[in-house]
Structures are given as structure tokens and as C-alpha cells.
């Protein structure tokens, strides 16, 4: 088994739950309140990870702002997702938002020079077709 496969499967399961639970949460509280509690949960988990680093995370002048930006983008995307599931059905919303890797792959190709094989292009096209089939 590839070294990345197990962590990827764990991410799949965790993100599947992450995408489902907000539908229930936003039936009880508004999206902004839900986001606050999500951020508290993320902060608590971050403290656990920080402890595993002996409270000495690696610092790098270029990586630090990028990591902070990643956090802002993630939490802002999370808020947009919460607003979406509070106002609509989780099925098309989760399928649409779960295909964000299409943008990631295209950006990696454009800015990092990562190749996209014909088979991967087919997968991207099928993913885009999935959006159309689920939303229409």
C-alpha cells in the first residue's frame, strides 16, 4: 500500500463527516455561530498538535504567511459552506464543494508544472459532469 493511501482514506472519512454534520448543526444555530464553535474545535486540536511538537513549530519566513492564509481560506470556505447547507440540500452542495480538488489540480498544473495525464483529465471531466448531474 502506498504511504499516502491510509492518510488519504482517513481524510476522506473525516471530511465526509465534516461535510455532513453542519447540516444538522445549522438546523439548530446560525452559520456564523457554528463557525465560531468549529474554530474553537480546530484551535483545541491545534493545541494538541502543537504539544506533539513540544510547543516549537517550525518557522519559515515564506511558509508562515502561506500557512496563515491557508487557515483563513479554509475557515472562510467553511463559513460559505455553512451558509450553503443552512439554506439548501446537503446533497448537491456537498458534491459541488467536494470537487474543489479540480481547482487545486489545475492550479498545480499551471503554477507548479505538475502534469495531468489523459486519464486524470477524464476524471476531472467526469467530476464536472457529476456536478451537472447532481445539481440539475
In a domain, 68, yes or no: yes
50 and 24 housed in the same domain: yes
Q: Which three cell numbers stand for residue 21?
A: 454534520
Lowest-confidence segment of 40-44, 89-93, 111-115 by average pLDDT: 89-93
How confident is the model at residue 1, as a pLDDT? 76
Report CA dihedral (19, 72, 106, 128) to the nearest 10 degrees.
30
pLDDT tens across 95-118, in order?
A: 899 999 999 999 999 999 999 999
How confident is the model at residue 4, as a pLDDT? 93
Please tell me the distance from the alpha carbon of residue 12 to that of residue 22, in angstroms, as a whole number: 16
Model's pTM, two decimal places? 0.88
In a domain, 94, yes or no: no
Average pLDDT over residues 75-88: 96
How confident is the model at residue 16, as a pLDDT? 92
50 and 113 housed in the same domain: no
Q: Which domain holds residue 54?
A: 1-88
12 and 71 housed in the same domain: yes
131 and 76 housed in the same domain: no
What's the structural domain count of the chain? 2
Report CA dihedral (14, 15, 17, 19) to the nearest 10 degrees.
170
In a domain, 117, yes or no: yes
Q: How confident is the model at residue 37 (pLDDT cuts 50, 70, 90)?
A: very high
Amino acid at each position: 500500500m502506498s504511504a499516502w493511501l491510509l492518510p488519504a482514506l482517513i481524510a476522506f472519512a473525516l471530511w465526509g463527516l465534516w461535510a455532513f454534520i453542519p447540516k444538522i448543526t445549522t438546523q439548530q444555530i446560525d452559520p456564523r455561530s457554528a463557525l465560531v464553535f468549529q474554530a474553537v474545535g480546530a484551535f483545541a486540536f491545534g493545541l494538541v498538535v502543537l504539544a506533539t511538537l513540544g510547543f516549537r513549530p517550525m518557522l519559515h519566513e515564506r511558509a508562515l504567511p502561506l500557512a496563515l492564509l491557508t487557515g483563513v481560506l479554509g475557515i472562510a470556505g467553511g463559513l460559505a459552506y455553512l451558509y450553503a447547507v443552512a439554506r439548501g440540500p446537503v446533497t448537491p452542495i456537498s458534491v459541488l464543494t467536494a470537487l474543489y480538488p479540480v481547482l487545486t489540480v489545475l492550479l498545480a498544473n499551471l503554477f507548479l508544472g505538475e502534469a495531468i495525464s489523459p486519464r486524470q483529465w477524464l476524471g476531472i471531466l467526469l467530476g464536472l459532469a457529476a456536478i451537472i448531474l447532481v445539481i440539475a
